[in-house]
């Protein structure tokens, strides 16, 4: 019997999840169908869409914007990562039980460790932005025991509040204008600036000594953030494609009990960062 999964969002036509999971299923010989479900952005629209999918035998869903917060509220239980992020990108169904998790941060860490060969233990990390992307990344990054994680945001209060929520001495928050000449091993762009081809309000000095600059957006080539990092002398650049594929592999494993390989899709979809 074919197992049914889907991605829920609005809009959802651009989502790559159907292609990704179709490739994973082909690779591992699994019989599954993966759909796109565009839920209405109205009160109860997400819940009604997921209810209907479950009634038709759906086994689980990925969740994309703007419903990641709705997914946590819909679930009967949520992982630590989903609770800290306040958002979930995957649900799995078992009768009346609905579990929520957020695999974005795990996907990021897996991309860094496995594909970028970049160790995080003992490193100083800078995250630009204090929104959902930063929230989803924090717990898995902390589990790698970095020396420090600095969250810098245009509104300092948001960064300070997020650092406080982590309850860990290795995390601190500040405003973008407070970064000064601090040195970091790795700089992440978790802002939405690159989606509109804009540069985060960050001084080039933050890249001094950095070994890697990581753009969480994917498929956009050399974004203003990556261009600034390259011009500042950062030797390695990465975008969020690896994060996308690695989180999808973790979701597939969560649903199906086996982890697919992401190498073929990374080669197929990679965009030169030049």
The answer to whether 19 is a known ligand-binding residue is: no
Q: Is 155 flagged in the annotation as binding?
A: yes
Q: Are 103 and 251 in contact (CB under 8 A)?
A: yes
158 is in an annotated binding site: yes
- The annotation status of 209 as a binding-site residue, yes or no, is no
d(CA 65, CA 247): 16
104 is in an annotated binding site: yes
Would you say 133 is a known binding-site residue? yes
Which residues are identified as catalytic?
A: 68
Q: In what order do the strands lie in the sheet with 171-175?
A: 171-175, 148-153, 124-128, 186-189, 212-215, 237-238
Burial of 47 (0-12, 13-18, 19+ CB in 10 A): middle
Q: How far apart are CA 147 and CA 247, in angstroms?
A: 24
Output the six-digit token pair for 213: 């600059």
Rounded to 10 deg, the angle between the 17-28 and 241-256 helix axes is: 50
Say if residue 94 carries a ligand binding annotation.
no
CA R_g for the chain: 19
Q: How far apart (Å, rounded) are the C-alpha atoms in residues 190 and 193?
A: 9
Distance CA 133, CA 218 (A): 13
Q: Is 99 annotated as a binding residue?
A: no
Cβ(256)–Cβ(30) below 8 Å: yes
Instruction: Confirm or deny that 129 is annotated as ligand binding.
Output: yes
Bridge partners, 100 (sequence order): 78, 91
- Residue 153 in marked binding region: yes
- Residue 96 marked as a ligand binder: no
Whether 223 has a binding-site annotation, put simply, is: no
The answer to the question of whether 132 is labelled as a binding residue is yes
Q: What angle do CA 257, 259, 260 make, to 5 degrees?
A: 135
218 is in an annotated binding site: yes
Question: Does 100 belong to an annotated binding site?
Answer: no
- CA dihedral for 189, 127, 159, 69, sign (positive or negative): positive
Q: What is the DSSP letter of 9?
A: E
- Could you list the residues known to form a binding site for NADP(+), using ranges: 80, 129-133, 153-158, 216, 240
- Could you list the residues known to form a binding site for shikimate, using ranges: 64, 89, 104, 218, 247
- Could you list the residues known to form a binding site, using ranges: 64, 80, 89, 104, 129-133, 153-158, 216, 218, 240, 247
């Amino acid at each position: 019997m074919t197992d049914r999964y889907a991605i829920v969002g609005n809009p959802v036509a651009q989502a790559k999840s159907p292609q990704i999971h179709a490739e994973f299923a082909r690779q591992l010989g699994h019989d599954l169908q993966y759909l796109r479900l565009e839920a209405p952005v109205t009160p109860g629209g997400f819940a009604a869409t997921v209810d209907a999918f479950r009634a038709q035998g759906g086994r689980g869903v990925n969740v994309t914007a703007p419903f990641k917060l709705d997914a946590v509220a819909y679930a009967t239980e949520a992982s630590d990562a989903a609770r800290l992020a306040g958002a979930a990108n995957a649900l799995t169904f078992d009768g009346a039980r609905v579990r929520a998790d957020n695999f974005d941060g795990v996907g990021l860490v897996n991309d860094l460790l496995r594909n970028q060969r970049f160790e995080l233990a003992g490193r100083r990390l800078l995250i630009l932005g204090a929104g959902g992307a930063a929230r989803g990344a924090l717990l898995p990054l902390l589990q790698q025991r970095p020396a420090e994680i600095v969250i810098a945001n245009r509104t300092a209060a948001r960064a300070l509040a997020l650092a406080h929520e982590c309850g860990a001495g290795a995390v601190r928050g500040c405003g973008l204008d407070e970064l000064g000449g601090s040195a970091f091993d790795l700089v992440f762009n978790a802002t939405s600036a690159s989606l509109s081809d804009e540069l985060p309000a960050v001084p080039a000095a933050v890249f001094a000594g950095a070994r890697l600059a990581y753009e969480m957006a994917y498929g956009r080539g050399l974004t203003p953030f990556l261009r600034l990092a390259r011009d500042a002398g950062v030797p390695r650049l990465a975008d969020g494609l690896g994060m996308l594929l690695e989180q999808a592999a973790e979701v597939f494993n969560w649903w199906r009990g086996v982890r697919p390989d992401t190498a073929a899709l990374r080669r197929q979809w990679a965009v030169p960062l030049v």
